Amino acid sequence: MLKKFRAVPVLLLVFGFSVTSMGNEWANYYFPDAVGSYWVYEDQSGDELTRYAIEPEDIDGETYSAFSYDPPLEDWAEFEHYVQPYFYQVSTDWVAFFVGSEIENALKAATMKQMEEAMGLMRQAMQEQVPAELNITFDIDYDIEVESPDYFYFLPTPATFGEEWPASEINVVLTLTIDIKGMPMEIPGGSMQTVKTFTTLVETGNVTGMETVETAAGTFEDCLVIEYRTDASTETVLSVEVPQQPGPQEQQDVTVTTVWLAPNIGIVKFEHMHDQSEESEALGLASPEDQTLELIRYEITGSPSEEE
């Protein structure tokens, strides 16, 4: 009896090791990271992006696998955290991208571009509504705060079809300040008007199935199809109540991003379609360009070369 009892921890240890090995093997099956491997993608404009698997790095006591890219990223607004991680971990539970700072930089850069365009249109609209002889001016400024978790949970290991997982939650606070000078009468709330928007972006992932994908690099069977749904909830708070729209104003937006993973290859295709909000459309802002990537050639170290 004692021998049987002692055997239980040993069996559990062996079982635990088997599960751990299975998780790592499954993750590497769909997300290979052998140093020296490379993948070349073509985007919607015909430009190429090459990803290289490089030596792991230690950050704050944690070891991360790493990628480098050619050409290097020059505009943070073009960063896509789904496919451009610099550091990541493949564990028994997750393929997790260490991209918190990159997401914050990207959202700030993208928001700044939108704000510069919007502010120009706002100044023009305000000046057109005010007679020139009144000499009224509008000084518009803004501030952006973005808070992102360190990790984007790209894929559970192993994943289950049709089961969603929380990938990330990002908070964005945009403060818009309008200083109206030269008004001949007192403005309710003063000449300094403030608008704050609080946006929460909740991303969930879901492996929706398997497909055969054809790209310039070849035809890939049994590709995992991962959909990331981003639910954006925005609350707008005005420094002065507007009679027609009293209190906070709320808005809901949803976007879907799709990534295809081929066995022993990794990402072979990516699509991110941008939806223009009603608010942006009403302001006359340009709609963001849809983002796509497609694998055109590659080589995985330790596997037979698939380079075309």
CA–CA distances in Å: residue 75 to residues 17, 71, 109, 192 = 44, 11, 8, 33
Q: What is the pLDDT of residue 306?
A: 43
Tens digit of pLDDT per residue, the chain (308 long)? Answer: 333 323 332 222 233 333 334 456 777 788 888 999 999 999 999 999 999 999 999 999 999 999 999 999 999 999 999 999 999 998 888 999 999 999 999 999 999 988 888 777 766 666 666 666 566 667 788 899 999 999 999 999 888 899 999 999 999 999 988 887 665 555 555 567 788 999 999 999 999 999 999 999 999 999 999 999 999 999 988 765 544 444 444 566 788 999 999 999 999 999 997 665 554 444 444 455 688 999 999 999 975 444 44
Helices first, then strands: H and E counts in the chain? 3, 13
Q: What is the pLDDT of residue 92?
A: 84
Q: What is the pLDDT of residue 136?
A: 66
Q: What is the pLDDT of residue 6?
A: 32
Q: What is the pLDDT of residue 242?
A: 46
3-state secondary structure (DSSP) of residue 6: helix
Give the Cβ contact number of residue 196 at 10 Å.
16
Residue 291 contacts by C-beta under 8 Å, 6 or more apart in sequence? 43, 44, 80, 270, 271, 272, 274
Integer Cα distance of 213 and 271 in angstroms? 13
Integer Cα distance of 93 and 27 in angstroms? 9
pTM beyond 0.85: the answer is: no
Q: What is the pLDDT of residue 18?
A: 35
For 141, list phi and psi in degrees, rounded to 5.
Answer: -140, 165
DSSP bridge partners of 108: none
Closest CA to 237 of 200, 193, 281, 277: 193
Q: What is the pLDDT of residue 271?
A: 96
Residue 176 contacts by C-beta under 8 Å, 6 or more apart in sequence? 115, 140, 141, 142, 194, 195, 196, 197
Integer Cα distance of 17 and 23 in angstroms? 10
Q: What is the pLDDT of residue 251?
A: 60
CA–CA distances in Å: residue 193 to residues 108, 112, 187, 221, 301 = 22, 20, 9, 57, 59
Q: What is the pLDDT of residue 246?
A: 45
Q: What is the pLDDT of residue 202?
A: 96
